[in-house]
Amino acid sequence: MDTISAKNFQQNFDVYMRQVAEKTKPLVVTAQNPDHSVVLMSKRDFDANEETMYLLSNSELMARIKHGDAQVAAGKTKRHQLRNLGIDADM
């Protein structure tokens, strides 16, 4: 993760905003007071992290996923042919 000063960030705001959005790599913006430092990330990455945290915090869902993983590991799965439901695969 790259790190820059708040002053450098302010002076090159547009460059760093574009860089973070395009590279989807967070950027640490440091302040003189370490408690005021921030991490800048793309909206797409933020949304993905929020979704992940939501899923991980749902104990019932996680139990179902673990149960499914155990079934796969034990070979208790079946292959099914999916039928065409009229949904465009490019959506």
Q: Quick one: 37 and 47 in the same domain?
A: no
Confidence of residue 83 (pLDDT cuts 50, 70, 90): confident
Number of domains observed in the structure of the chain? 2
Is residue 2 within 8 Å of residue 27, measured between CB atoms? yes
DSSP string over 13-46: HHHHHHHHHHH---EEEE-SSGGG-EEE--HHHH
Residues spanned by the domain of 51: 43-76
Positive or negative torsion for Cα 23, 24, 25, 26? positive
25: domain CATH number is 3.40.1620.10
Q: Quick one: 33 and 52 in the same domain?
A: no
Asked, for residue 66, whether it belongs to a domain, the answer is yes
pTM: 0.64
Predicted confidence (pLDDT) per residue in 29-82, tens digit: 999 999 999 999 999 999 999 999 999 999 999 999 999 999 999 999 888 887
